[in-house]
Structure 1
Amino acid sequence: MTDTRTQVLAVPWQSTQPMPVTRPRRKTRQALIADLLGILALGSLVLTTWIWVRSGGYLQTFVYPEYAIGSQALLTGLLSSNLMVLQVFFLARIPWVEQSWGHDVLARRHRQVGYWSFWLMIAHVVLFAIERTEEPRGDVFGALWALFVTDPWMIWATLGTLMLIVVVVTSIRWARKRLRYESWHLLHLYSYLGMGLAFPHQVFDGTHFHELWTQIFFWGLYLSALAAVLVFRLGVPLWRSWYHRLRVTQVHQEVPGVVTVSMRGRHLDRMGTRSGQFFVWRFLDGPGWSRGKPYTISAPPRPRSLEVTIAAVGESSARAATLRPGTSVLIEGPYGTMTAERRTRPRMVLFAAGVGITPFRGILQDSQYAPGEAALVYRYTDDEHAIFRDELVELARQRGIDLYLLPGRRRGDGSWLPDTVLDVAGTDDYVLERMVPDIADRDAFICGPSPWIRSVRRSLKAVGMPERNVHHEDFAW
């Protein structure tokens, strides 16, 4: 497709130095680890349920119905606390967990499990309240006051529950849209405090903590989650930041509102970073430095340098343009699985929109592929906002990349194409097959806004690409 009216550009290959090619092989180790971790998570829930059954929960529910409400209250509480611990593990930044599942998958599981845990917690509270107040002619207010305030450790459990309710409410989509990311993230941290306040009433007053082996299981579950947070969310990032000693060396404007921050450090190759991965960055440039933001590296990692390209879409990201050389940088990472190592086939096609081009710059520069085996579809609003455009054109000429530049505003009806291709007959799927006729026989990598990613995925599914060959990571919060 070279119709200048649609502004879809195919750049021919004019390479004089062919690159060595290594055919990708299907990676199975990470999939096996992911399956094992899933089995362990489900196993903890099964064991928790069995502890409830062994303690008489089944009999109390189905044989002695007068105890059914209290028994179900205990079960929902146990399962809720177990799921809360799994939430912590999902986003504890444990390296082999991140590498196996991918950050975006873990974030979705974290959110999904969080809602399950929340409703089980609400059921736990409501069922116990019903049990306490079902006595005829009883003092309802006194019973509830004792349950939520004066019973041992219950005031702390009540405060913890209220904190968790606030966290869940602010995590609903309509609420998130009304909060800045920094405010939402700060509120989200209160979930740790909420879980901590609810913990004592389970340990010191819980029916299922009386036997030694159940104490070992629950204490082991909670303490291992705490250790994971302390080690991988605090210890490892602090050690890496001290050891590698990253400093800002230059801030360069790519296009209006987008800058590339270049940094230097020491022994950066020892982190094993791959193009397409991201770090959580904290630039020590003044108040607000503690709020980390995830950005993908935008150039192949070097032993002494890293680059990240940042679009000004919020208060924190806008501050990147004001960074001064010498500013110290704290890092968490590297994270992410959207790397060339995930390829299962020699040929690949990359879809980028806006600042989503940043991971693909590095992937295209340091990955191994033959001429014609890589295609890049790049969507942007106009030439003024086309990040790395000239560099990508030159890279395409050198490496034999099929490059399709798609400027223009996004057309309606959930399309991932720009409005400049409205005169092309056919659907998104038809245009995609014209661009890349062998699309179903490639791996696809996608990076951009969440709605745009979903649109591209729908088209890929329609043209016959297997889901296992579609790779993306979504950082929308």
Structure 2
Amino acid sequence: MTQSTPLAPGHRKPPPPRPPLVTSADVLGALAILSAVAVIALWVMNQGGPASLTTLDRAMGSLGLLTGLLASDLMILQVVLLARIPWLENAWGHDLLTRRHRWIGFASFWLMIAHVILFALERVSRQPQTALDALTRVFITDSWMVFATVGTLLLILVVVTSLRAARRKLRYESWHLLHLYSYAGIAATFPHTLGDGADFHQEWTRLYWWALYGFAFAVTVLYRLAWPAWRSLYHRMRVESAVAEAPGVVTVTVAGHRLDKMKTASGQFFIWRFLDGPGWSRGNPYTLSAAPTSERLRVTIKAAGDGSERAARLTPGTRVLIEGPYGTFTARQRTQPRMLLIGAGIGITPLRALLEDSPYEPGEATLLYRYSHDQHAVLANELRDLAARRGIELIFLPGPRRADNSWQSADLNHPADDAQALTALVPDVARCDIYACGPPHWLTAVRKAARRAGAHRNHFYTEEFGW
């Protein structure tokens, strides 16, 4: 439905910004790569590089050291990526940071495993007659090695529980608690790295590694603990209401003091902790479902774990702790003349907020909303009201998915090809900034269809509702 009504003052669309030649994301990416290059350079200077690979025994020891140093560097980089540093979040966005954190995590894990195996083989090759004794020393009795072994086991636990098959069987709260063990694992390996790492024996190399570890520790304490604690105290946030929207879905409105000072934008999310009893310490990420104001924030939550199920029982006055705002899924990214929003299920929530206060003229925004059953059409009445007020083309797509690799609903008379169906609904899709929110596999189908329909990848923004 479309209605051409004039925009209120302040909603006029600004001219598209000119993209900079070099972004902060480019600079940060270069620094991350440079840290790995620096580690390899340290290995070459201290071990001789390829010259240390002349015999099997020396090669195993030298490569064992290199893989250990690279694993340490990538573990530090992992911590920094998810330290919630504002300029890092603004440059890359939380979804991209999370994906890169995951990739780097698996890379550091396999480098760590290679490090352990290479040093074990080196010790055994030196003492083949007393292999068990050699392994005992390298894993337990040598200086700080028992701590390193415990730390390695903790990191293995974190990696195993991060596999998709394992995550599907865990509640979010359980997975998050297990994931925090990575900090303990990294801390447990640190004394061994300092004590036995050959590249720590020179003053300037020790300074380099201490600076890396110190930076990671400092930004983690500052942005994951101190800054959120101060903000929560300053803004004095409390639950104002909790209203059921649909089976298993509740909208929570939170009131607070000077919330505009956080400079929150529609499409962003916070880590929320409601002080309603046991379990409050486990934070959950929820995206705003209404445009933020100076006095109120609103989220719409679907029950998917202990924390989200408790949201339905929240009472007015419950105190709230927050981390954020995070994410780049905002209208600040816009460069195209039109705006296409595509949501599935509870993924409609950030799109509803974006539609409320983003700058666009009547007829310049289209919303495609896919859901399985009418009872799952969360916030449908609010969307109809917004469409009437702001001239949005609103298209509901009810019913089950056509196929696991399709974004479409099976009940609709659209072309079977996903790209053709998208073009039939939105003929000028190539001239749109596309905002899509929903489950990861569904988003993949949307992205493929949009690319085939002519949309540029730089005009496609996503928010995954999954973990």
- For 1:4, the equivalent position in structure 2 comes to none
Cα deviation per residue 1:383-416 (whole Å; 9 max; x = unaligned)?
Answer: 2221121221121122111111111122225221
Contact 2:53/2:62, CA 8 A, preserved across alignment = no
Partner residue of 2:370? 379
Q: Contact 1:24–1:343 (CA<8 Å) still a contact in 2? A: no
Partner of 1:396: 387
Structure 2-normalised TM-score?
Answer: 0.97
- Verify the 8 A CA contact 2:438 2:463 in the aligned structure 1: no
Aligned partner of 2:398 in structure 1 is 407
- The 10-residue stretch of structure 1 (390-399 or 321-330) with the greater mean CA deviation from structure 2: 390-399
C-alpha separation between the residues in 1 aligned to 2:21 and 2:325? 16
Residue in 2 aligned with 1:474?
Answer: 464
1:468 maps to amino acid: N
Query: 1:25 Cα deviation (Å)?
Result: 2.3
Q: Which residue of the partner structure matches residue 113 of structure 2?
A: 122
Secondary structure of the 1:289 match is coil
Amino acid at match of 1:321: A
Q: Does 1:302 align with 2:303?
A: no
CA contact (8 A) 2:57 2:125 kept: no
CA contact (8 A) 1:23 1:345 kept: no
Check if 1:245 corresponds to 2:236: yes
In the alignment, which of 199, 219, 233 is matched to residue 190 of structure 2? Answer: 199
Written as runs of structure 1 = structure 2, the 5 A alignment for 1:92-171 is 92-135=83-126, 137-171=128-162
Residue 63 of structure 1 and its aligned partner are, at CA, apart by: 4.3
Quote the RMSD (CA, aligned, Å): 1.6
SS in 1 for 2:343: strand
Aligned-pair identity in percent equals: 52
Map residues 68-467 of structure 1 onto 2, 5 A cutoff.
68-135=59-126, 137-421=128-412, 423-467=413-457
How many angstroms apart in 1 are the aligned matches of 2:167 and 2:7?
Answer: 50
Which SS does the other structure have where 2:211 is aligned?
helix
* 8 Å CA contact retained: 1:30, 1:100: no
Write the distance in 1 (CA, Å) between the matches of 2:81 and 2:24: 14
Residue type of the partner of 2:144? W
TM-fit CA distance, 1:204: 2.1
SS in 2 for 1:420: coil
Contact 1:23–1:346 (8 Å) recurs in 2 = no
Q: Which amino acid aligns with 1:255?
A: A
Secondary structure of residue in 2 paired with 1:170: helix
Indicate the larger mover: 396-405 or 270-279.
396-405
What letter corresponds to residue 370 of structure 1 in structure 2? E
Change (3 A) 1:300 1:132: same
Deviates more, 1:98-107 or 1:21-30: 21-30
In structure 1, distance between residues paired with 2:209 and 2:393: 55
TM-score normalised by the chain length of structure 1: 0.95
Q: 1:135 to 1:94 in 2, by over 3 A?
A: same
Cα distance between partner residues in 1 of 2:133 and 2:197: 21
In structure 2, give the amino acid aligned to 1:165.
I
Q: Which moved more, 1:130-139 or 1:325-334?
A: 130-139
Counterpart of 1:317, as a letter, is S
SS of the residue corresponding to residue 275 of structure 1 reads: coil
- Which residue of 2 is the match for residue 12 of structure 1? 2
Instruction: Map Cα deviations across residues 299-325 of structure 1 (whole Å, 9 max, x no partner).
Output: 111111111110112221111010000
Mapped contact 1:248–1:262 kept (Cα < 8 A):
yes
Question: Structure 2 CA distance, aligned partners of 1:309 and 1:96?
Answer: 27
Q: Name the CA distance, whole Å, in 2 between partners of 1:360 and 1:413.
A: 23
Q: How many residue pairs get matched? A: 466
Cα distance, 1:359 vs. partner? 0.8
CA 1:150 to 1:300, structure 2 compared with 1: closer, same or farther past 3 Å?
Answer: same
1:256 Cα deviation from its structure 2 partner: 2.0
Partner amino acid for 2:444?
Answer: R
Q: Which has the higher contact order (CA 8 A, sep 6+)?
A: 1
Checking the alignment, whether the CA contact within 8 Å between 2:2 and 2:393 is kept in structure 1 is: yes
- The 2-side partners of 1:68 and 1:47 are apart by 20
Runs of 4+ in 1 over 6 A off after TM superposition: none
